[in-house]
Amino acid sequence: MKPTREVGLVGYGAYVPRFRIPATEIARVWDGIEDNGVPIESKSVPGPDEDVATMSIEAAQNALLRAGIAPTDVGAVWVGTESKPYAVKPTSTIVAEALGIGPFTQAADWEFACKAGSEALQAAFGMVGSGMLSYAMALGMDTAQGRPGDALEYTAGAGGAALIVGLAEESLAVLEASTSYVTDTPDFFRRQHQHYPQHGHRFTGKPAYFHHVLNASQNLLDELGQTPADYEYVVFHQPNVKFPLKATRALGFSRDQVMTGLLSNRIGNTYAGAALIGLTAVLDEAKPGDKVFVCTFGSGAGSDAFSFVMTDMIEERRTRARSTQMYVERNTTIDYATYGRYRKKFVMN
């Protein structure tokens, strides 16, 4: 699908907190051995004064710098997340106010597990594409939590990205088309008032991630009449390293196409932020004319796929803010005790 007016990305920005905990440190605490075939090298951990609001503010600042537009020109601030600071009270109004966006703006928090951000991005393309707004900002940002000792604890990271949508003639990457594919699948969920999520073990792989990612991606390729060889870069949702690499092979993309946007080995699974921050790492590298394919995944379950073509504007715009790799490479390693304190893993009665 695509809107009636040609649209694209006019700005983008990333954020990752500075703390990292090695997966071997988590294995040392829970399994007594460090070399336990851990799924990633390290994951990012937010500092005690960070949350989805503060992280979104910095990513959005980077996106505004790259777009070079006045904050008051942004007509929507949509934060996709599953780790809102407040259960009731939008994160997006805090982000908008901190950036000087509004008060004449739309603001909302979006939910769809790890595809909350790309769902917001689809809507942003629609709003700008219909002529209702000149610019709309979609964010995917999370500070994911895994139950101590659970498999998810090795990968549940923190970070994400902000993308500003505008008209194609102002864009650094033009949208060719997008697609969405959803089914009711109980692969992962968290009930109200529960601190940690549940995952349906037998559902996480084949019927969930691969079913949706492969169907959405193949559908978009077919709709555009294109093959993986037409693209320079591909980005998938990255709950670990194994799943996106397997999706890459299954669709006929190559390792070279996926590695630039595959950040989960260093920062973990940033949930709603994962595919979008991977996209920002690609935008930092891609050349004018390059084609970029993105497919997200959110439990519950569904995928959004997007096809972009880079324009000449990318070369200068990318230099206006800090690169995604600068955030990825920022690294203050902490041990499990410090991590436990920052993430409130210890309950004091």
Choose between 147 and 320: whose C-beta lies nearer to another protein: 320
Place of tokens 């594919």: 181
In the complex with another protein, the residue whose CB is nearer, 49 or 184, is: 49
Q: Nearest Cα to 128, choosing from 12, 8, 13?
A: 8
The answer to the question of residue 319 lying near another protein (CB under 8 A) is yes
- Binders of another protein among residues 33 to 92 (CB under 8 A) are 47-51, 53-54, 57-58, 85-86
Would you say the C-alpha torsion 249, 140, 337, 329 has a positive or negative sign?
positive
Give me the least distance between CB of 85 and another protein, in Å please.
6
Question: Any contact of residue 276 with another protein (CB under 8 A)?
Answer: no
Encoded tokens for 147? 């139950």
Which residue shows structure tokens 């503060």?
A: 54
What gap in Å lies between CA 56 and CA 62, rounded to an integer? 10
Shortest Å, Cβ 155 to another protein: 23
Contact segment (CB under 8 A) with another protein among 1-9, 75-83, 184-192, 320-328 equals 320-328
Among 2, 190, 322, 345, binds another protein (CB under 8 A): 322
Catalytic residue among 82, 119, 170, 176: 82
Site string for another protein, 93-132 (x = CB under 8 A): -x--xxxx--------------------------------
The amino acid sitting at 19 is F
- Choose between 307 and 323: whose C-beta lies nearer to another protein: 323
Would you say 44 or 179 has its CB closer to another protein?
A: 44
**Count of chain residues binding another protein (CB under 8 A):** 24
CB 187 within 8 A of CB 298: no
Please provide residue 152's backbone torsions phi and psi, each rounded to the nearest 5 degrees: -65, -20
Label residue 281 left, alpha or beta by phi (over 0 means left) and psi (-120 to 50 means alpha).
alpha
Is 345 a residue that touches another protein (CB under 8 A)? no
Closest distance to another protein from the beta carbon of 62 (Å): 9
Least separation in angstroms between residue 61's CB and another protein is: 9
Q: Is residue 326 involved in binding another protein (CB under 8 A)?
A: yes
Least separation, in Å, of the C-beta of 98 and another protein? 4
Instruction: Tell me which stretch binds another protein (CB under 8 A): 32-40, 135-143, 260-268, 314-322.
Output: 314-322
Q: Do β-strands 173-182 and 7-15 pair in parallel, antiparallel, or remain unpaired?
A: antiparallel
288 binds another protein (CB under 8 A): no
Angle at 56 between CA 286 and CA 273, to 5 degrees: 55
**Cβ neighbours of residue 39 closer than 8 Å, sequence gap 6 or more:** 23, 151, 154, 155, 240, 241, 242
> Is residue 142 a contact residue for another protein (CB under 8 A)?
no
At closest approach, how far in Å is the CB of 248 from another protein? Answer: 29
Name which of 53 and 267 has its Cβ closer to another protein: 53
- Catalytic, 82? Answer yes
Cα distance between residue 240 and residue 138, in whole Å: 24
Nearer to another protein, 37 or 346 (CB): 346
Whether the CB-CB separation of 8 and 125 falls below 8 Å is answered with no
Which of 114, 176, 199, 212 is labelled catalytic? 114
18 is an interface residue for another protein by CB under 8 A: yes
Q: What six digits make up the tokens of 91?
A: 């994160």
Residues 6+ apart with CB under 8 A from 174: 6, 7, 8, 168, 308, 309, 311
Annotated catalytic residue 237: yes
Q: Angle of helix 242-251 relative to helix 211-224, nearest 10 degrees? A: 40
Q: Which residues bind another protein (CB under 8 A)?
A: 18, 47-51, 53-54, 57-58, 85-86, 94, 97-100, 319-323, 326, 341
Catalytic residue numbers read: 82, 114, 237
